[in-house]
Amino acid sequence: MVSKIMGQTLQKTRISNFEILRIVAMFIIITHHFIVHGIYPVVQINSVHTINAAAAVLIGWGGYLGNSIFVILTGYFSVIQKISYRRLFFLVLTMIFYSVAIASLCKLQGRPVGEVKQILFPFWYGYNWFISCYLVLMLFVPFLNIALLNLNKPSYLAFLLLFFTCYNVIPEKGGATFMSNAPFLQFLLMYSIGGYIRLYGFSRPALNEKRFWIIISLILVIVLDFFLLKHWTMGQDIFKYVNIFSTGIAISFFMIAKTSKKLYIPWVNRIAGTVLGVYLIHDNPIVRPIIWRMVFPNVFILESNSFLLLAFMKILFVFAGCIVIDLIRQCVLEEPIKKVMNKPMDRVSIFLEKWMQKIWIYFEKI
């Protein structure tokens, strides 16, 4: 059963429901970065009790949520698939391209040797933590899939509940499980959640209705907003409980997309295909201070009477600008390279699969 499922190929026509979800997740992440990179470093938000500061607290918590949505999507589509070496190759290539290109535009020479090494080998040094962590996860996916596929529904659900409790709940209450503040474990949990939904889903009819998940997501967001404002007014850690609630919200958002009427919108899929580039451009360590603290500084927007409007416009401008840049990169560089590299990459994939089989056979004889 495992080998049969693992041998399936990816569906060529991408359902736009999930692509819209990718776009929404990226918008949430950019909004989070607008706050945490552009306002929190220069403003003691817990000591500023204004309407705008409250709004910043309420819109700036979604980083964990956006990242979780992306990994749940990966788990949902990858748990029954073979790992795509071609996809990983172009992911690394894109990562290196933006790292080097941005550094070159901002004068690579004169930078410390340590920083230059990070720029040239971003996947090794975690220059962009999300993509680097994602690549590490992909190394474990073949083994993880085998484990997940061999869990029956009750065992799988028990595993997820235990994982969630030890990773999110107990540490928030001050308990020690030695699992907190580990992004890889977040990815492992979210990947496993996506895999569970793909393999088993929900048997109860109510859990397969979009309306149910909309209500759940609204309740979770409202309750989380209550805790955010409470901790903010009391001068406490505003991110306390964010990870707990974000897990539930991420699942709800995913299920809303899954239970909605299937859509096939080519231009939406095209835009969703740029989200990796959008992430690599706007959250590059060199670009980050420029767009959030130097050009039309966010802290000035915070003092404006039109804070939410101006914040939305800037976030949208950054998002749209990064989309255009990545579309150009895809047309000028990636698509021509793919045409040239398709056959060599097929040969490399076959070569790697053969070597993996030989390694497996060797391990069996040890």
Residue in the block written with tokens 């795509």: 84
Single-letter amino acid, residue 28: I
Where b means 16+ CB within 10 Å and e means fewer, 193-204 reads bbbbbbbeeeee
Q: At a CB cut-off of 8 Å and minimum separation 6, what does 147 contact?
A: none
43 closest CA partner among 301, 315, 239, 313? 301
Domain boundaries, the chain: 2-84+183-365
Largest CA distance in the chain: 71
Q: CB of 67 within 8 A of CB of 283?
A: no
Task: Check residue 364 and give its pLDDT.
Answer: 83
Q: Provide the b/e sequence for 118-153 (b: ≥16 CB within 10 Å).
A: bbeebbeeebbebbbbbbebbeebeebbeebbebee
* Predicted pLDDT of residue 10: 42
Pure H helices in the chain:
2-6, 16-36, 51-59, 63-78, 85-105, 113-120, 122-125, 129-149, 153-164, 170-172, 183-199, 210-233, 242-259, 266-272, 275-282, 287-289, 298-302, 307-329, 335-365
Exposure string over 34-48, b if 16+ CB within 10 A, otherwise e: bbbbbbbeebebbee
Given a contact cutoff of 8 angstroms between Cβ atoms, the answer to whether 18 and 266 are in contact is no
Q: How far is residue 200 from each of residues 156, 157, 339, measured CA to CA in Å?
A: 9, 10, 38
Return the residue matching tokens 């390694």.
359
**Closest to 290 measured CA to CA, from 38, 23, 35, 30:** 38
| Per-residue pLDDT at 111 | 63
Residue 81 bridge partners (DSSP): 8
Q: What is the DSSP string of 47-112?
A: G--SHHHHHHHHHS-THHHHHHHHHHHHHHHHTTB---HHHHHHHHHHHHHHHHHHHHHT--TTS-
168 CB neighbour count, 10 Å cutoff: 24
- Rounded distance, CA 57 to CA 103, Å? 32
Q: What is the pTM of this model?
A: 0.91
Per-residue pLDDT in tens (0 to 9) along the chain, 366 residues:
444 344 444 445 789 999 999 999 999 999 999 999 999 999 999 889 999 999 999 999 999 999 999 999 999 999 998 888 888 888 989 998 998 888 888 765 566 766 677 777 777 777 788 999 999 999 999 999 999 999 999 999 999 999 999 999 999 888 888 887 789 999 999 999 999 999 999 999 999 999 999 999 999 999 999 999 999 999 999 998 999 999 999 999 999 999 999 999 999 999 999 999 999 999 998 899 999 999 999 999 999 999 999 999 999 999 999 999 999 999 999 999 888 887 787 788 788 788 888 888 888 888
pLDDT score of 341: 81
Residue type, 132: S
Cα separation, 156 vs 84, in Å, equals 25
Q: Which of 1, 142, 104, 86 is nearest to 344 (CA)?
A: 86
